[in-house]
Amino acid sequence: MKILAIESSCDETAAAVVEDGRDILSNVVSTQIEKHKIFGGVVPEIASRLHTENISAVVEKALGDANCTLADVDGIAVTYAPGLIGALLVGVNYAKGLALASGKPLIPVHHLRSHIAANYITHKDLKPPFMCLVVSGGNTLLCKVNDYTDFEVIGRTRDDAAGEAMDKAARTLGLPYPGGVNLDKISKNGDNTKYKFPKPRVDGCPLDFSFSGLKTSVINLVHNANQKGDELNPADVGASFINGVVNCLADNTIKAMDMHNEKTLVLAGGVSANSVLRGRMEKLAKEKGWDLYLPDLSLCGDNGAMVGAQGYFEFLKGTVAQMDLNGKATADIEKDYKN
């Protein structure tokens, strides 16, 4: 079964054709990074306008690269939530137009579910149930993936996401957008023990995260040094900060795996591209005897292929939307698209 998938939740206009939820026939990503760079982050209205300009060409290329026409696909999957609402609406409306014109089913896909599904493409043998650490720009959560469309959140961030904290740390150090990637790069040879960052705990909820204190702490460190005229080595600050974030992610993951008696761990989302996080999880998996699945680096960021993968499993479960499908800025991963 071939699914044409569309993704426009943030700053990538993306489309793909995916076969049976596992095989990429095409995967086209048009990134807006250069356009947002001068503002130091994504400007929502600019993102929506650029999606509007690019979406037709991206979808046409995805169909062309897959050697298909709209008539050859069995469904049209689209990210409906969560994300920037203006950006989401471009993809949702475009997908609705295609579904209406072709008579093909319209399949709504939750963005975080699709990040998890990037792993079904990378690892053809991976099947639920498993534990998943989802680390993206806007979300950080630990969830049990009981089935392809059955999710149970057991830990979540109370404030900022890990990606947001990485981006803010990078910005404070004067690194260009996209911050997390550049922070990872410049920190490779830094001393990760040079600075100590707080390790927050959420009272009574051992699996929840909090990154706002870490974020404030790195901002204060850099500002205080600037005010005193002290020189900081950005590689040391970056390496220590990343180490602080990864410690929090690793600690809660260990607790979650133990408490829920899990042996299979999957990582998902943009921050799962982080080299320190990947290395730490690989080391932990060896020590603890876990089966670890990491998404291919090319599928960690936003893309259409992951939407096509999840769209396939949503379709098998009978999730099909009508022409009143709307975009949503926020949506619970556990809930159906209508709720």
Can you give the binding site for ligand KG4, defined by CB under 6 A? 10, 111, 115, 136-138, 163, 166-167, 178-181, 184, 269-271, 273-274, 301-302
Residue with Cβ nearer ligand KG4 (108 or 269): 269
Query: Least CB distance from residue 117 to ligand KG4, whole Å?
Result: 13
C-alpha torsion 284→155→332→271, nearest 10: -40
CA distance 35 to 51: 12
Residue with Cβ nearer ligand KG4 (128 or 178): 178
CA distance 79 to 92: 7
Characterize 213-238 residue by residue with b for buried, 16 or more Cβ atoms within 10 angstroms of its Cβ, and e for exposed. Answer: ebbebbeebbeeeeeeeeeeebbbbb
Residue with Cβ nearer ligand KG4 (63 or 142): 142
Residue with Cβ nearer ligand KG4 (189 or 322): 189
Q: What is the sign, positive or negative, of the torsion defined by CA atoms of 111, 3, 99, 7?
A: positive
Query: Least CB distance from residue 115 to ligand KG4, whole Å?
Result: 6
Tokens of 226: 């600037």
Query: Least CB distance from residue 223 to ligand KG4, whole Å?
Result: 21
Query: Least CB distance from residue 206 to ligand KG4, whole Å?
Result: 24
CA distance 134 to 113: 9
Residue with Cβ nearer ligand KG4 (73 or 161): 161
Query: Least CB distance from residue 166 to ligand KG4, whole Å?
Result: 4
Residue with Cβ nearer ligand KG4 (184 or 208): 184
Task: Annotate 22-35 with DSSP letters as a single string.
Answer: TEEEEEEEEE-HHH
Classify residue 21 by its DSSP letter.
Answer: T
What values do phi and psi take at 226, rounded to 5?
Answer: -60, -45
Query: Least CB distance from residue 231 to ligand KG4, whole Å?
Result: 24
Q: What SS3 class is residue 111?
A: helix
